[in-house]
Amino acid sequence: MCFACMKGGGWCEDVPTCLSRKNTDLGSSKQMVKQFGFSGLLSGQQKSNPDFYNWNRIKVRYCDGSSFTGDAVDRANNLFFKGNSIWEFIIADLLAKGMRNAKNAILSGCSAGGLASILHCDRFRALLPASTKVKCISDAGFFLHAQDVSGGKHIEEFYGKVARLHGSVKNLPASCTSRMGARPELCFFPQYVVQTMQTPIFFVNSAYDSWQIKNILAPSAADKSKAWKSCKLDLKKCTAAQLKTIQDFRTQFLSALNRAGVVNSPSKGMFIDSCYAHCQVGKQIQWSSDSSPVVSNMKIAKAVGDWYYERSPIKKLDCPYPCNPTCPKVDSDS
């Protein structure tokens, strides 16, 4: 049994931002800490992680800035965009170490890693024997293709820059890019990828994902007057008009999930809460504790376990903000 979890860390869309990451833990393994603890879905404690505590658990470091899709070289700036090769070598190493013999395997990730778990899910399935039960989990990885508060296309332009700089298009799922005509870079958005995925996948996401509210709906570039500054830090400080815009964003998010087939597909599962959060499965307080968010009388750990082991179909959808009193008080971007 093997559980590979890919870390998050955003993306770099141009030479300056990639250079700024180059000598950090988001751009070089030389800068990464040697050890860190496992918690949440990677916890080794039976009490707090009963369904997966005794699996072989792997944390996959993230240093390429493209959700493991890059394949380009900028020799003038000494930048090597090799995210796809990194992913292939990591998986090949895990297969050689015994993952090819696993009876059960999960590819998961948070944020940029959650997006990677979507983009690479079917490829991961194809690398393992047909007898292996393979599924994927995306935590805070369903980034919405939406306009910002100014009516602009900030996130579309951002992902387009990432795809072009890193040479990512050739490594995005062909089942998506073949349908997008002249816009294959739009396959960075899960809503266009998920509908043609073959491998079972589970989505843990907030309908009010804090990263998305701050960077897709109301990015600084679209909020020159900083009218959204206080609201983005604390939803309780939003005006009535801002809350309506945020509720409309939730509606768009749920509609995208539905159009992608998540709601009705028997092989896809979801736990969509109304907490102002980003990445929820890696911390014990959100995964499985007395303070974990509850949707329809179920916590995240139970929902994921029931879905993976097919104890019951899991389609958990929370009521609109601010209805859920069980949302833990944590750093919204943790």
Which are the catalytic amino acids? 111, 209, 278
Rounded distance, CA 22 to CA 65, Å? 10
Is the peptide bond preceding residue 322 cis, with omega within 30 degrees of 0?
A: yes
Tokens at residue 250, please? 């939730």
Q: What is the dihedral of CA 242, 149, 114, 200, to 10 degrees?
A: 90
Q: Which residues pair with 295 in a beta bridge?
A: 298
C-alpha triplet 295, 299, 301: angle, nearest 5° = 145
Q: What is the DSSP string of 140-208?
A: S--------TTS--HHHHHHHHHHHHHT-GGGS-HHHHTTSTT-GGGGGSHHHHGGG--S-EEEEEETT
User: Which residue, among 107, 132, 131, has the nearest Cα to 201 in the 3D structure?
Assistant: 107
User: Which residue, among 15, 23, 160, 12, has the nearest Cα to 74 in the 3D structure?
Assistant: 15
Rounded distance, CA 334 to CA 332, Å? 6
Q: Tell the burial category of 323 from Cβ atoms under 10 Å away from its Cβ (0-12, 13-18, 19+).
A: exposed
Do residues 213 and 228 make contact, with C-beta atoms less than 8 angstroms apart? no
* Range list of H helices, the chain: 15-22, 83-96, 112-119, 121-126, 154-166, 174-177, 190-193, 210-212, 229-233, 240-259, 284-287, 300-308
In this structure, which amino acid lies at residue 2?
C
Do residues 142 and 259 make contact, with C-beta atoms less than 8 angstroms apart? no
